[in-house]
Copies of this chain bind each other. A is one copy, B any other.
Amino acid sequence: MEHFPDQESYEAWLDRSCRLPDGFRVSSGSLTFVPRERPTLEPYRMNMSMILLDEPTDMFAGMCTRNAIVGAPVVIARELLQGRQTQGVIVNNRISNVCAPDGIEDAHRVQEATAARIGCDPTLIFPVSTGIIGWKLPVDDMLEALPAVCGGLQRYGAREFAQGIMTTDRYPKMAHAEVGNGRILGIAKGAGMVEPDLATMLVFIMTDIRVERAKLRAVFADAVDRSFNHISIDSDQSTSDMALLLSSGAAGTADDAAFASALCEVCRTLSLQVVRNGEGTAHVIEVTVSGLSTESACRAAGKAVVNSPLIKTAIYGNDPNVGRIVGALGDHASREGIPVQVELLEIRIGGELVFARGSFRLDREKEITLSSYLSKAAMNPRVRGYPQHDLCVQISIDFGLGPAESTVWGSDLSDEYVHENADYRT
């Protein structure tokens, strides 16, 4: 990714580089409403955003959260993913339509009204929601806003779509890749409640490369597993989020391996962006765990580190508190039955060896080096509109017990995270 000194240059890059693949149009509009559930002086604002293929396609794939309690859009998406064809999505932010009374009916009303305006079968439209759990969608207000949203469909405007689906996101997140005669454009939303066991955020990927449906689904599942399933902001897997991949096929076929690799790259860039603008994120933490017998064991140990509140707060404070890393690893190892041998364990921060041969390798000079390394990787979580840089805090852990390796990404824990989440619904 390029570096951006300000919001203007980032948005210019988005507009220039992130154009839609052929065969797609998007739009975004907004409305205001008064929630039934909460007394409020000022009405709430909601965006409705849309992706529409010129023609129905059978080349689509999707994955939904594994949370045992899911929102109405996930219930419906699981059905629609079995269908023969699809043509687009209608997405609202602000309310996620999870376990609200008559939530499925509400989602169907939005889906049907959208399809009616487009002139297609309702089962060709995915109704998708993100935002507050438990509240009812203001369906009447949404239907009133719908004509403007459908009327605004255009072949540019990916940035407006990406902005439209944001909730507490600090900036719109897109990634693209060129492949064959076409391209892949990915757009993601997600800032909290992010511990994908699947992609627990909204991810929309559009391509004009023609890929046969079964192959598309396999390649997408693999790309999601290699990207979104390696990030964690606050260890809470959402009830509602999903990743959808739609192909218009307008640019013909491409080399299989090239497509898979481009898709993986788009997913990985998006997932890192999701972490980078996680709620209150001041540092992105990259943890590489090696030396266990399986990739999944390494991944789980890495997540134990990026999810430890004590490690997250220390990193926020630019404090290289390696003791907490050892504490979290030992705790995880005892829960999982990993036969840790402290003599074999090696830990590095930013390349500096801090633990080896059973004890810490620390002195004042190293503490100064590490503190300054952490300070340099810091972002101001109050800066909105663009990513400030792409630096990570790199932690590497080698258990010395096996051949596997895995890298996961997470965020620190700042007072800004607490403020956002304490006040989210107000």
Contacts and interface: CB of A to CB of B under 8 A. Distances in A.
14 contacts: A37-B363, A38-B364, A68-B330, A98-B323, A99-B342, A99-B355, A234-B309, A235-B308, A236-B327, A310-B421, A317-B424, A319-B426, A321-B424, A418-B418
Contact of A424 (B102, B195, B197, B314): B314
Given A193-B310, A197-B335, A310-B234, A362 B37 contact: yes
Consensus secondary structure, chain A interface: loop
Interface in A376-426: 413-415, 417-426
A329 interface: yes
A134 interface: yes
Given A38-B367, A338-B68, A421-B310, A134 B99 contact: no
Contacts of A313: 417-418, 420-422
Interface in A326-380: 326-331, 333-335, 338, 340, 342, 345, 355, 358-360, 362-364, 367-368
A248 interface: no
A363 B36 CA distance: 7
7 closest residue pairs by CB, A with B: A133-B323, A317-B422, A69-B330, A313-B421, A68-B333, A134-B323, A415-B415
A166 to B, nearest CB: 18
Interface in A276-330: 308-310, 313-314, 316-317, 319, 321-324, 326-330
A132 interface: yes
A422 B233 CA distance: 17
Contacts of A69: 326-327, 329-330, 333, 340, 342, 345
A359 B421 contact: no
A38 B327 CA distance: 20
Interface string A125-137: 0000000111100
A238 interface: yes
A21 interface: no
Contacts of A419: 415
Interface string A72-106: 00000000000000000000000010111111000
A133 B325 CA distance: 10
Contact of A67 (B101, B331, B362, B422): B331
